[in-house]
Structure 1
Amino acid sequence: MANEVSGKTMDPHDPHNTGIEYLYCDGDNYKVRRRVVFAGAITLEGHDRIAMAAIGGDADDRLEFIPGQVGLPDLQKSFYVREIEVIDAILASDEAAPVVNRIDTAERQRYADLRAGMAATRPRWDPDKDHPVHLIDDIGLTEEVPTDPRDIATFIREMEAVSWDLGYLPPFHAEMEANHEEWLAAQAESDEPSA
């Protein structure tokens, strides 16, 4: 059903916001993704401006950037977050009524054990595998509501204004680095021969 606004017919299903999906891939090829939605519809020119503002500054398929330098969350600490949410939903669905597909006790325990292991894994910054660069994987129009207070034009201007710092470290780097040092010490201890 169309609405009349200022004499124009508007389709309520017409995409009018911009979704950007970006990902972080570590040296072992583990990936974590995040989606952000900005108010306003991106144009082809806007897409090209993002491509030119990305690290390397060309319109090839690899749009690399550092999200923390343009007000977006860095993802290095986000491994297992989405997986834990999915497991929580699976486990919760079996407790809710009515339930169409129940999981048996053994399967429930496997999910619970997997979740516990993921939740107990402390994020580590391995200097041989971790880095600040993320990849913009998708840019497109969407009907989703904005998740960022900026509009797409503001985000594009911020991308164009930044000087990418490949030595950038996210705000949680020190915590992840300490976790890695503890993990290395535990590995060295477990590798020591017994007396």
Structure 2
Amino acid sequence: MPENTKLTYMYRDASNNKSMRQVVFSGRLAADHKQSLIASMIPGENDEVANFIPGLVGLPDLQDKFYDQQITLINAMMEHASKDPVKRSDVDHKILGDFQALADDMAAVKPIWWPDDTTGHEILEIADTERETTDARSIQAFAAVVAVVDWDQDYLPPFHAEMLENYIEYLKNEEFDPPAP
């Protein structure tokens, strides 16, 4: 029987780029406590469970993490292919080089805070799990923090200034076509 609770959340920017994270807390939530936790968050839209600002409750904000999952996946695939003698003979070294170049290019992208970016993240799932914990808190301790937090809509993540500088640098380097007369 599952003894822990996983919370899956996602950041989606206005261009529909997405970055997800899953955190596992110790303990389980009864159904009524789960509803209480959700009610303490920012109401969700459409099919979202709820919204929240992770940086205000001790979880990582994801606005600067768009390529992290893809880079991790590419690196894992390349490592697996290089260690497996059967796969290594089937894998073209040029393809491995192309994947490495893709991962390097993704890692070199500087995250940008676009004018339409927000601080809100979507809660996708709160569910029981047998997975090991990834957060030192229990789900009850996390729920207690959520219950009393002030969802400050003016909050900015710690990396906001750097992302804003990247945006300004992007604008300086961007070539604009003058509007037609």
Do the structures match in fold with TM over 0.5? yes
Alignment of 1:72-111 (within 5 A): 72-100=59-87, 102-111=90-99
Report the residue type matching 2:157 in the other structure: P
User: Paired residue for 1:137?
Assistant: 124
User: Paired residue for 1:65?
Assistant: 52
User: Paired residue for 1:6?
Assistant: none
Whether the 8 Å CA contact 1:51–1:57 is kept in 2: the answer is no
Whether the 8 Å CA contact 1:93–1:99 is kept in 2: the answer is no
Q: Quote the offset at 1:100 in angstroms.
A: 3.5
Within the candidate set 38, 46, 54, 2:33 is matched to 46
Q: Quote the offset at 1:74 in angstroms.
A: 0.3
Q: Distance in 1 between matches of 2:7 and 2:80?
A: 30
Structure 2 CA distance for partners of 1:112 and 1:53, relative to 1, 3 Å = same
Structure 1 gaps, min length 5: 1-13
Q: Distance in 1 between matches of 2:97 and 2:85?
A: 21
Q: Distance in 2 between matches of 1:91 and 1:16?
A: 34
Q: Distance in 2 between matches of 1:81 and 1:48?
A: 31
Larger Rg over CA atoms: 1
Q: Distance in 1 between matches of 2:157 and 2:143?
A: 21
Q: Deviations over 1:61-106 (max 9, x none)?
A: 4400000000000000111011011111122122214344642123
The structure 1 segments of at least 4 consecutive aligned residues displaced by more than 3 Å after TM superposition are 97-102
1:112 and 2:100 are equivalent in the alignment = yes
Q: Distance in 2 between matches of 1:108 and 1:76?
A: 29
Q: Deviations over 1:107-156 (max 9, x none)?
A: 2232122112101101110122x110001101110111111011011111
Per the normalisation by structure 2, the TM-score is 0.90
User: Paired residue for 2:113?
Assistant: 125
Report the residue type matching 1:108 in the other structure: L
Secondary structure in structure 2 of the residue aligned to 1:109: helix
- Percent identity of paired positions between Structure 1 and Structure 2: 40
Q: Deviations over 1:25-63 (max 9, x none)?
A: 0000111000000000111012101111011389x8440
Report the residue type matching 2:94 in the other structure: A
Per the normalisation by structure 1, the TM-score is 0.84
User: Paired residue for 2:146?
Assistant: 159
Whether the 8 Å CA contact 2:50–2:123 is kept in 1: the answer is yes
Whether the 8 Å CA contact 2:53–2:61 is kept in 1: the answer is yes
Q: Distance in 2 between matches of 1:57 and 1:26?
A: 16
Q: Distance in 1 between matches of 2:82 and 2:37?
A: 45
Tell me the number of residue pairs that the alignment of Structure 1 and Structure 2 aligns. 176
Q: Distance in 2 between matches of 1:99 and 1:52?
A: 52
